[in-house]
Amino acid sequence: MSEISELEGVFEQLWPLNRSLTGDGVRQTHKILGEMIPMNSIEVPSGTQVFDWTVPPEWHIKEAYVIRPDGHRILDVKDNNLHLVNYSMPFCGRLSLAELEPHLHSLPDNPYAIPYVTSYYNPGWGFCLTHEERENLPDGEYEVVVNTDFKSEGGMTLSEAILPGKTQKEVLISTYTCHPSMANNELSGPLLAAYLFKRLAALPERRLTYRFAFLVETIGAIAYLSLRGEHFKKWLVGGLVATCVGLDEPFVYKRSAQGNTLMDRATEQTLLENNLKHRVMNFYPWGSDERQYCSPGFDLPVGCLMRGSFFERPEYHTSLDNRELISFKAILGSVSAYESICLMMERNLTYKNLVAGGEPQLSKYGLYPKIGAKQEVEQERKDLLWLLSLANGCRDLIEISKRSGVPTARLHETAAKCLAAGIMEQTI
Amino acid sequence: MSEISELEGVFEQLWPLNRSLTGDGVRQTHKILGEMIPMNSIEVPSGTQVFDWTVPPEWHIKEAYVIRPDGHRILDVKDNNLHLVNYSMPFCGRLSLAELEPHLHSLPDNPYAIPYVTSYYNPGWGFCLTHEERENLPDGEYEVVVNTDFKSEGGMTLSEAILPGKTQKEVLISTYTCHPSMANNELSGPLLAAYLFKRLAALPERRLTYRFAFLVETIGAIAYLSLRGEHFKKWLVGGLVATCVGLDEPFVYKRSAQGNTLMDRATEQTLLENNLKHRVMNFYPWGSDERQYCSPGFDLPVGCLMRGSFFERPEYHTSLDNRELISFKAILGSVSAYESICLMMERNLTYKNLVAGGEPQLSKYGLYPKIGAKQEVEQERKDLLWLLSLANGCRDLIEISKRSGVPTARLHETAAKCLAAGIMEQTI
Amino acid sequence: MSEISELEGVFEQLWPLNRSLTGDGVRQTHKILGEMIPMNSIEVPSGTQVFDWTVPPEWHIKEAYVIRPDGHRILDVKDNNLHLVNYSMPFCGRLSLAELEPHLHSLPDNPYAIPYVTSYYNPGWGFCLTHEERENLPDGEYEVVVNTDFKSEGGMTLSEAILPGKTQKEVLISTYTCHPSMANNELSGPLLAAYLFKRLAALPERRLTYRFAFLVETIGAIAYLSLRGEHFKKWLVGGLVATCVGLDEPFVYKRSAQGNTLMDRATEQTLLENNLKHRVMNFYPWGSDERQYCSPGFDLPVGCLMRGSFFERPEYHTSLDNRELISFKAILGSVSAYESICLMMERNLTYKNLVAGGEPQLSKYGLYPKIGAKQEVEQERKDLLWLLSLANGCRDLIEISKRSGVPTARLHETAAKCLAAGIMEQTI
């Protein structure tokens, strides 16, 4: 089975689940992803204090719909998860259209889209619908059924998958599974994470440890930091938040708050070396979970790599963010970019030229290039001289590449020859 | 009485006084200003060694004029203080025009202006006149009367006015009162200082202490540093030399020698935030008393804020720098700009986000903005997120503004809300 | 005798010598230069280990030529030193043209040039000729005579000339004498070094010590570093590699690897102040012996100052790099530029304004300029104020010049006046 058709299959399984901060939609999502890659789930009990926040009770939906005056059942959550405002409280009753109106949400400027609305910290209930449908609602008495439930003994589900490497130094890939039926701004992230895991698992060896986190946006990331924050302060060498990676648009890299961490340097170097069309933005304190990782208490080296600026598009947070919008090929392209960045992190080592005085005598080690087209020979020789000149035991390959203009992949090959000749050692 | 007519009244009182390094013209000037604001005068005795300089004897003028061959009295210091070279030694005698010539000063390129000439450290006497008048002087015998006097038991008068604040940290406003009848390059500075004092005195509270100095240029500033220099090294957080602030021209800010002190940052931030047309120049070691404050032995955070580049204009140091040239409205505009800079210094505090992990739960504190036009709500939310993200206990509001693009006034309001909610503390 | 005709005379003596890594060609070259300036020669014995390299046996040529099938003697080393591949092993024999071919070197794209080829670390023999001559070689049997010899008890000759100064701080001028008959890329360097020595020897006094090194490229520099490296780490304040300085082209300065050393700053400042047409390049790890001085084990402040980018021209490393190509006037121009840089190093001192508070009273010391054209007086006054303002005991004159825009020569004169007045002291 090709990667694309496998991807499509998993997408179809995940799409209908009604995800939220908590509840079975999330659990089921993690179970399906757990069939692809080995995941450990953590249940953070409702009521747990995580820094400034409290994990809410678990939300369950049995059914939710409205019956029109003519007896037609509309806005049924079975038809589209977005119809019900997320975290709606239970309600059953008969209301006039005027009474119902304050509970309805639609987008006058985007009349064929059902908006995605949540009410996590603001008790109430509501329904979302296209503005076109709303405009055509007849007067009369409506029957409203919101059969939901809050379980205070419930929990918030987070999951991790870990790929161990030779060292405890870690790279974090963080994504979220808390939005109901949306494609780019939900499923593209976890799908990328799962496929990236598979790619990295297939490497013959890994220097770094890779940790994949499937969270709930904001409160989930905060809860996760309450569990892993101290570990990250010690071991995290870089991290990326994977979100909105399903469109065939240029990559957009949002730097960590520090702005020049190893993660920032490796990501930007990869986008340049691989000739990937992209834009780089400095950190700003809204967006996805990089906000939490980069908050002043942690200030971790975590950026966010997206495709395009999805939150500026009309499909954002509506029913139009669906399977028709995204491209499975684009998701795989995003997986490849993330994989290249991880390989950049793997090979970004630091070397020291061991010859104490002047240049080594390259011909003695068979390192003086002779065979091949003149231009290649010349390039090979210059690559060698650059590496020998700049490898002082402190500069990593990305820095050496910035100074010399030689891509890190060529520097890495050159370093391997020098290591074999015994005139260089790896210092990190 | 409006501020403008009050200002005009004081100007009229100050204009005719014959100011110099020392003497009663200066004392009278300080007495008039002292009726507006509470000033303390310091008399530095003639002969006092102040660093590399010695305070000169006190200069007094009884009368000074020339009688033309036709018996006409001309160049009378009673008509214009500029007619007599400042610090002229006494002289009475009869001279031919040829003998008088070396003692005359005029400007061939500016024939209707009487130049301002001093002879502080170069004993002699002389008269200044328009070039037009000089060209029409008839041959014949002239009678010269320079009835001046040097009192070695005299002194040099400096005055201070202090507005105490909650802390001993000080802002210095320094100006000079040593030029005779000139308007922009003399009276605009002391008038600004007096009115700024009144504005700041009216504030409900002041965090900083403000010290206003009315000096003599160069030797007065050096004498003042010999008295206050060590205090300034300890307590001065910023200072401005107020000079040439009476024209309706763009502000010109000349940075301190260090070039990036708090004073420089606060002044430039204010000029930008308040949309005041302006230019910024790096320090150069000529100009006014910023030269002394920024000399290597002190290197204090003192800049100079002017209107236009007056010393490049033909009116500079001539009788054309008079009441017709300046604008009282411009002086009040300069007062307002200085006041805004002081308010910037007042509010430029440093805060620390007290939430240790991730973002605070804004809705818990009623800080999640909901009411108002969409754009305002969005701005309020982003201001909050910026401040929470950047308030690490070290960055001041000016730095946070530079990074976020949010004006300091909005950041200051946002900080007040966070302080009230208990999620932030002030660190400076 | 003018400098130019003397220079031409020395050139004529040096041109015919067959220089190489080792041997009598080098010794004879140093002997001739030693008649101009006092040199000490060092013989590094063959077989000596110098860092990663081993000094090779000494190479001697008795005769080398080829006899054409028609009996004509061609490619005789007596006609042109470049005919024989440098470091060729001995060989005598008869070969067909086909057998001879692999031993011939010519340049198809540059058919009238004999290339310069070496075989230092790749045993064999060969002949170099113009491509035109090669194309016309008739078939038949050729007689080859390569009567060379390797003396393992020989040595590699390096020489030094030292001009002592008041301090042990040193400036190094490094050049090489290992290429046979070439003009720009060989003789221009040693000739410049010798004439620069004579110029600096004529100075009334020197603050710095100047060390001139006449080396063999690469292995000679590495051997030299094995002898002087530790001394240089302690005492070298700057150095220049003199090579390819014989063309009337703009100066090209290649910075040291550190890129902002005193040598870099002094060279760039001189090229600017003296209005010399020039280009500046960052360090790259190929070129001449700056590679060895700047290698990570030493990282010394050594740059390279050339005229044009000779290695990009068709004459480079061929028989076309000869007397017709170069300009003796250009060599003397290069000597003058190097001399100006040395004078910049001499005068680039550090001063401290001794007046502790405010400005000194210039008129007291007769330093307040009065006489002269208005513009000159103004410039003199501003130069004084700049120096007094910036001379804080740490900044050197080059830094003060960069900040003030006043050329170092004028600052140096101004400093002399201040020293005489006792208001300034020299700190370095």
DSSP assignment letter at B203: S
> What is the distance between the alpha carbons of residues A184 and A318, in angstroms, rounded to a whole number?
11
User: How near does any CA of chain A get to the CA of B407, in Å?
Assistant: 16
> What is the distance between the alpha carbons of residues C339 and C193, in angstroms, rounded to a whole number?
10
Neighbours, chain B (3 or more CB pairs < 8 A): A, C
User: Are C276 and C344 in contact, with CB atoms under 8 Å apart?
Assistant: no
Q: Do A298 and B357 touch (CB under 8 A)?
A: yes
Backbone angles phi, psi at A314, to 5 degrees: -65, -25
pLDDT of res. A376: 87
| B356-374: average pLDDT | 85
Tokens 């500029």 map to which residue? B82
> What is the distance between the alpha carbons of residues C242 and C244, in angstroms, rounded to a whole number?
7
Q: Do A385 and C298 touch (CB under 8 A)?
A: no
* Chain A residues lying within 8 Å of B382, measured CB to CB: 285-286
User: Are A278 and A303 in contact, with CB atoms under 8 Å apart?
Assistant: no
Contacts of C392 (CB under 8 A, 6+ apart): B296, C352, C353
Averaged pLDDT of chain B: 96
Q: Which fold has domain C60-149?
A: Glucose Oxidase; domain 1 (3.50.30)
Q: Are strands B302-307 and B251-254 parallel, antiparallel or unpaired?
A: antiparallel
Q: Do A53 and B361 touch (CB under 8 A)?
A: yes
Q: What is the DSSP string of A336-374?
A: HHHHHHHHHHHH--EEEE---SS---GGGGT-S--SS-H
Residue B334 pLDDT greater than 90, yes or no: yes
For A350-426, the fitting CATH number among 3.30.450.40, 3.40.50.12160, 1.10.10.10, 1.10.287.70 is 1.10.10.10
| B220-243: average pLDDT | 98
Q: From A221, which residue of chain B is nearest by alpha-carbon distance?
A: B358
Residue A71 forms contact with C (CB below 8 Å):
no
> What is the distance between the alpha carbons of residues C262 and C349, in angstroms, rounded to a whole number?
12
User: How near does any CA of chain B get to the CA of A297, in Å?
Assistant: 5
Supply the ipTM of this predicted assembly.
0.92
For the sheet containing A251-254, what is the strand order?
A: A40-45, A155-163, A209-215, A170-176, A236-242, A302-307, A251-254, A278-281
Q: Do A226 and B357 touch (CB under 8 A)?
A: yes
* Chain B residues lying within 8 Å of C356, measured CB to CB: 51, 297
Q: Are strands A40-45 and A155-163 parallel, antiparallel or unpaired?
A: antiparallel
Residue A389 forms contact with C (CB below 8 Å):
yes
Going by pLDDT thresholds of 50, 70 and 90, the confidence category of residue C284 is: very high
* Chain A residues lying within 8 Å of C50, measured CB to CB: 357
Residue B279 pLDDT greater than 80, yes or no: yes
CATH of domain A59-151: 3.50.30.90
Q: How many CB atoms lie within 10 A of CB B129?
A: 23
Residue C107 forms contact with A (CB below 8 Å):
no
* Chain B residues lying within 8 Å of A296, measured CB to CB: 352-353, 388-392
| C32-38: average pLDDT | 97
Considering only the beta carbons, identify the residue of B226, B257, B294 that sits closest to C357: B226
DSSP assignment letter at C57: P
Residue C119 forms contact with A (CB below 8 Å):
no
Written as six digits, the tokens of B376 are: 């305002």
Tokens 């009411």 map to which residue? B371
Written as six digits, the tokens of A212 are: 């994949």
CA C398 from chain centre, in angstroms, equals 24
Going by pLDDT thresholds of 50, 70 and 90, the confidence category of residue C375 is: confident
> What is the distance between the alpha carbons of residues C300 and C295, in angstroms, rounded to a whole number?
8
pLDDT of res. A1: 66
Q: Which fold has domain B59-149?
A: Glucose Oxidase; domain 1 (3.50.30)
Residue B359 forms contact with A (CB below 8 Å):
yes
* Chain A residues lying within 8 Å of B385, measured CB to CB: 285-286, 291
User: How near does any CA of chain B get to the CA of A296, in Å?
Assistant: 6
Q: By C-alpha distance, which of A291, A288, A287, A255 is closest to A271? A: A255
Q: Do C297 and A357 touch (CB under 8 A)?
A: yes
- Full pLDDT tens readout for chain A, 428 residues: 688 999 999 999 999 999 999 999 999 999 999 999 999 999 999 999 999 999 999 999 999 999 999 999 999 999 999 999 999 999 999 999 999 999 999 999 999 999 999 988 888 999 999 999 999 999 999 999 999 999 989 999 999 999 999 999 999 999 999 999 999 999 999 999 999 999 999 999 999 999 999 999 999 999 999 999 999 999 999 999 999 999 999 999 999 999 999 999 999 999 999 999 999 999 999 999 999 999 999 999 999 999 999 999 999 999 999 999 999 999 999 999 999 999 999 999 999 999 988 999 998 998 987 767 788 889 999 999 999 999 999 999 999 999 999 999 999 999 999 999 999 999 97
Residue B157 forms contact with C (CB below 8 Å):
no
The string over C339-358, giving b where at least 16 C-beta atoms fall within 10 Å of a residue's C-beta and e elsewhere, is bbbbbbbbbbbbbebbbebb
Tell me the three state secondary structure of residue A212: strand
| DSSP bridge pairs for A91 | A146
User: Are B64 and B145 in contact, with CB atoms under 8 Å apart?
Assistant: yes
Task: Give how far Cα A346 sits from Cα of A170, A400, A405, Å.
Answer: 11, 16, 20
Q: Which of residues 189-228 of B touch C (CB under 8 A)?
A: 218, 221-222, 225-226
* Chain C residues lying within 8 Å of A359, measured CB to CB: 52, 218, 222, 291-292, 295
Residue A50 forms contact with B (CB below 8 Å):
yes
* Chain A residues lying within 8 Å of B356, measured CB to CB: 51, 297
User: Are C241 and C304 in contact, with CB atoms under 8 Å apart?
Assistant: yes
pLDDT of res. B1: 66
DSSP assignment letter at C363: G
Considering only the beta carbons, identify the residue of B50, B52, B294 that sits closest to C360: B52
Q: Do C225 and A358 touch (CB under 8 A)?
A: yes
Architecture of domain B3-56+155-347: 3-Layer(aba) Sandwich (3.40)
Q: Mutate one of A351, A388, A389, A390 to test the C interface: name it (highest C CB count within 10 A).
A: A389
* Chain A residues lying within 8 Å of B354, measured CB to CB: none
Helices assigned H by DSSP within C34-100: 97-100
Residue C300 forms contact with A (CB below 8 Å):
no
Residue C11 forms contact with B (CB below 8 Å):
no
Considering only the beta carbons, identify the residue of C222, C284, C286 that sits closest to A358: C222
Task: Give how far Cα C145 sits from Cα of B206, C21, C78, C90, C91, Å.
Answer: 99, 22, 13, 8, 6
For chain C, which residues make up each domain, given as ranges?
Answer: 3-56+155-347, 60-149, 350-426
Written as six digits, the tokens of A187 are: 């499923």
* Chain C residues lying within 8 Å of B257, measured CB to CB: 389
Residue C389 forms contact with B (CB below 8 Å):
yes
Going by pLDDT thresholds of 50, 70 and 90, the confidence category of residue B405 is: very high
* A8, containing H or E segment: helix A3-14
Backbone angles phi, psi at A118, to 5 degrees: -125, 160
Read off the amino acid at residue A215: L
User: How near does any CA of chain B get to the CA of C264, in Å?
Assistant: 26
Q: What is the DSSP string of C101-114?
A: GGGEE--TTSTT--
Tell me the three state secondary structure of residue C399: helix
Tokens 């739960």 map to which residue? B361
Written as six digits, the tokens of A49 are: 């204090």
Residue C45 forms contact with A (CB below 8 Å):
no
Q: Do C122 and A385 touch (CB under 8 A)?
A: no
Residue A378 forms contact with C (CB below 8 Å):
no
Q: From C385, which residue of chain B is nearest by alpha-carbon distance?
A: B285
